[in-house]
């Protein structure tokens, strides 16, 4: 079985800043990390391989420095990896990203694709389902447990707003997983050493037989108009005088605002 996990390198959310003039994220000089939800996807892929055999391949799209994120998840136990990097990929929305990933997956081959439920820098949760649509395979989102596998069938539990749903589907398929599915392992020293020496395939637009108009900003039907941090409105009301009077004043204000 070939299990492919899509991984993204994202900025550290505690250090994200917005350029006040261009209204875009400032990425230069900002520390990066593996998208947290993708760690659960990698862990689940490794667990499935440990039970059912097969191979775990990592695919990531990003700038050359995204290799750091790829090697980090290889150290967890993935077998090999492909990094999709090309200046033409810059500025891709979810549609263009899924287009690029789909082309790569058609080249690697797959039986099961696992993604984190969403990336914390965009929070759209769109790439996984779009990718499945482009590949013509079922997608099951918000998976919290792999109940079992039997031949070409897989049984899953997915989270709903109220309760959960049990889903049976056939392979190949794509899953997006939530953090409740497992606890990602800490890479061992042996895993870290192996990750350093693992050869990572690097593919560009030409390797994927894609037209530049299909990828990156040119291939994106949507545009981010503006990113901004919400204004913080904080006010302090100081009550003076006798405690009984202060309490009465507070109650009056709360009633005026419909809080009590």
pLDDT digits (tens, 9 = 90+) for 88-104: 999 899 999 999 999 99
Quick one: which of 214, 255, 257 has its CA closest to 235? 257
Residues in the chain: 260
Read off the tokens for 58: 């990592």
**Predicted model pTM:** 0.84
Place of tokens 């302090």: 236
Architecture of the structural domain at 2-214: 3-Layer(aba) Sandwich (3.40)
For tokens 């993935």, the residue is 78
3-state secondary structure of 84: strand
pLDDT value at residue 4: 98
Residue 18: pLDDT above 90? no
CB distance 1 to 54 below 8 Å = yes
* Six token digits for residue 236: 């302090």
**Structural domain spans, the chain:** 2-214
CA dihedral over 245, 249, 254, 256, signed as positive or negative:
positive
Do 82 and 201 touch, CB atoms closer than 8 A? yes
Say whether pLDDT at 260 is over 90: no
- Which segment of 18-22, 53-57, 125-129, 218-222 scores lowest on mean pLDDT? 18-22
The C-alpha angle with vertex 108 and arms to 35 and 8, in degrees rounded to 5, equals 10
CB 94 within 8 A of CB 8: no
Distance of alpha carbon 51 from alpha carbon 45, whole angstroms: 10
* Long-range contact set of residues 147-155: C-beta below 8 Å, sequence gap at least 24: 149/48, 149/51, 149/52, 154/112
């Amino acid at each position: 079985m070939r299990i492919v996990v899509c991984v993204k390198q994202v900025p550290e959310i505690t250090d994200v800043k917005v350029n006040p003039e261009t209204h875009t994220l400032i990425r230069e000089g900002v520390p990066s990390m593996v998208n947290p939800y993708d760690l659960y996807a990698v862990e689940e892929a490794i667990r499935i391989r440990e039970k059912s055999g097969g191979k775990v391949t990592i695919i990531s799209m990003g700038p050359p420095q995204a290799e750091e994120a790829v090697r980090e998840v290889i150290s967890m136990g993935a077998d090999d990896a492909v990094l999709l990097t090309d200046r033409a990929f810059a500025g891709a929305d979810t549609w263009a990203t899924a287009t690029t990933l789909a082309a790569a997956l058609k080249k690697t081959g797959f039986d099961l694709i696992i993604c984190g439920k969403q990336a914390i820098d965009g929070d759209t949760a769109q790439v996984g389902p779009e990718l499945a649509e482009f590949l013509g395979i079922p997608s099951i989102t918000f998976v919290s447990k792999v109940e079992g596998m039997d031949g070409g069938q897989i049984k899953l539990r997915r989270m709903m707003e109220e309760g959960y749903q049990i889903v049976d589907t056939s392979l190949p398929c794509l899953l997006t997983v939530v953090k409740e599915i497992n606890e990602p392992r800490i890479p061992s020293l042996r895993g870290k050493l192996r990750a350093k020496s693992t050869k990572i395939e690097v593919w560009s637009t030409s390797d994927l037989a894609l037209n530049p108009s299909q990828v990156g900003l040119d291939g994106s039907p949507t545009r981010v108009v503006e990113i901004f941090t919400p204004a913080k409105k904080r006010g302090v009301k100081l009550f003076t005088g006798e405690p009984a009077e202060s309490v009465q004043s507070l109650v009056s204000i709360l009633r005026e605002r419909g809080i009590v």
